[in-house]
């Protein structure tokens, strides 16, 4: 018998959906709560590294992911010069194993849809447009009050509700989330034939300009600048700003720029970071994914770390028979240092750019690749 019989998972992002799928596949009754009214129709793209793909395969969605995404095994480094000259072509580490691509671009809404469909297929009760208003726990369970005033008692609550986690707040945990000083413009649009992998342009007027193919017909492009308050800009002005910043970048960027015409596909956000000291649980409520640790996407590992938290937690909950301190110790031993190392490395890479310091980026990437090549 598993250590838990019924679980509430708050948040249907990568961490929450993966936890729910794994638990329900192994016979646990799971309610998955999502505050958004539906799976988003619009969104940006995400780069999934090999170790994220390995975990998606364990969820039984690899074929759908492979069909919807765009795989590549090399990252290009280009110069911010008039030709977008290729400076290097770096083979990406196959951190998910030799039988998986090194990386894959995916439209975020497509990935969310695949995971929600899989969750429903394995028996998860997915409730959109709902949240909780109160959590009260004792030694044997957690009583949850929902926003529709209904109540239910669970053996465990998993807070997978992202960066500004309500669950974390409900536990009374004060965690400082800090801006690291960078902001990112992202646009989702059509893929020119010249874009077949991620290329990164370091330098020029912005810190980084890049793009990632997310399917035969789509890509997302991004430009990282010093963080500033862009909230007063109208959508049309946001689009114009991103286009203007992109004018310093050439090669495939010349074609991408021409497709930047839809203000609703442009988004601006700051890079933020935090790591919650272990333990990530308070009694029978545990935080995972961005709710516990978040990093700038300089290594594109946030999604992978969220998936790994989910897989490890679900494995321990279903392979053990008691939810005790031993289980939590095993969870933290497998997750805390690994996630913190990834966050620290991501922050270091960002800081080198902010300080215009030439750090040993290849060594840092190698260190993270070696770590993430080991199963979580």
Ligand X SMILES: Cc1cc2nc3c(=O)[nH]c(=O)nc-3n(C[C@H](O)[C@H](O)[C@H](O)COP(=O)(O)OP(=O)(O)OC[C@H]3O[C@@H](n4cnc5c(N)ncnc54)[C@H](O)[C@@H]3O)c2cc1C
Q: Which residues bind ligand X (CB under 6 A)?
A: 10-16, 33-36, 46-47, 52, 131, 160-163, 166, 184, 269, 289-290, 294, 297, 300-304, 306
Q: How far is the CB of 275 from ligand X (least distance, A)?
A: 12
* Identity of the residue, 16 or 251, whose beta carbon is nearer to ligand X in the bound complex: 16
Q: How far apart are CA 371 and CA 337, in angstroms?
A: 11
* Identity of the residue, 250 or 331, whose beta carbon is nearer to ligand X in the bound complex: 331
* Identity of the residue, 33 or 221, whose beta carbon is nearer to ligand X in the bound complex: 33
Angle (CA) 351-44-32 rounded to 5° is 100
* Identity of the residue, 165 or 250, whose beta carbon is nearer to ligand X in the bound complex: 165
Q: How far is the CB of 251 from ligand X (least distance, A)?
A: 21
* Identity of the residue, 62 or 254, whose beta carbon is nearer to ligand X in the bound complex: 62
Q: How far is the CB of 304 from ligand X (least distance, A)?
A: 5
Q: How far is the CB of 163 from ligand X (least distance, A)?
A: 6
* Identity of the residue, 320 or 340, whose beta carbon is nearer to ligand X in the bound complex: 340
DSSP 140: S
Contact of 307 with 15, CB cutoff 8 Å: yes
Q: How far apart are CA 93 and CA 98, in angstroms?
A: 9
Q: How far apart are CA 264 and CA 118, in angstroms?
A: 29
Q: How far is the CB of 80 from ligand X (least distance, A)?
A: 21
Q: How far apart are CA 320 and CA 324, in angstroms?
A: 10
The reply to whether omega before 279 is within 30° of 0 (cis) is yes
Q: Alpha helices, DSSP H only, in 69-186?
A: 108-121, 166-170
Q: How far is the CB of 132 from ligand X (least distance, A)?
A: 7
- Write down the residue that tokens 């933290």 correspond to: 332
Structural element, H or E, at residue 306 = helix 302-319
């Amino acid at each position: 018998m598993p250590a838990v019989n019924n679980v509430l998972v708050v948040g249907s992002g990568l961490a929450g959906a993966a936890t729910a799928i794994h638990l329900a596949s192994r016979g646990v009754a799971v309610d998955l709560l999502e505050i958004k009214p539906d799976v988003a129709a619009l969104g940006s793209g995400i780069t999934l590294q090999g170790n994220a793909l390995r975990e998606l395969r364990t969820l039984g969605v690899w074929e759908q992911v492979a069909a919807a995404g765009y795989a590549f095994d090399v990252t290009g480094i280009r110069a911010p010069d008039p030709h977008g000259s290729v400076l290097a072509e770096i083979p990406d580490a196959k951190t998910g194993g030799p039988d998986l691509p090194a990386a894959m671009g995916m439209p975020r809404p497509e990935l969310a849809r695949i995971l929600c469909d899989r969750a429903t297929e394995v028996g998860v009760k997915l409730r959109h447009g709902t949240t909780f208003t109160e959590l009260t726990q004792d030694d044997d369970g957690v009583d949850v009050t929902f926003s529709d005033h209904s109540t239910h008692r669970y053996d465990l609550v998993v807070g997978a509700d992202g960066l500004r986690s309500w669950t974390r707040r409900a536990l009374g945990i004060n965690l400082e989330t800090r801006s690291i000083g960078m902001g990112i413009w992202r646009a989702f649009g059509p893929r020119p034939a010249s874009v077949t992998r991620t290329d990164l342009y370091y330098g020029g007027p912005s810190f980084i300009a890049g793009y990632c193919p997310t399917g035969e017909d789509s890509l997302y492009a991004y430009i990282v600048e010093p963080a500033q308050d862009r909230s007063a800009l109208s959508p049309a002005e946001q689009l114009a700003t991103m286009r203007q910043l992109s004018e310093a970048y050439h090669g495939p960027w010349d074609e991408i720029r021409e497709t930047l015409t839809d203000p609703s596909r442009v988004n601006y956000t700051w890079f933020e970071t935090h790591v919650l000291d272990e333990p990530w649980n308070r009694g029978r409520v545990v935080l995972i994914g961005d709710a516990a640790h978040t990093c700038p996407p300089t290594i594109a590992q946030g999604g992978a770390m969220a998936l790994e938290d989910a897989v490890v937690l679900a494995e321990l909950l279903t392979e053990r028979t008691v939810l005790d301190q031993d289980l939590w110790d095993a969870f933290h031993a497998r997750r805390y240092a690994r996630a913190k190392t990834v966050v620290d490395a991501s922050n270091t890479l960002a800081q080198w750019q902010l300080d215009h310091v030439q750090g040993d980026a290849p060594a840092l990437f190698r260190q993270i690749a070696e770590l993430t090549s080991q199963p979580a």
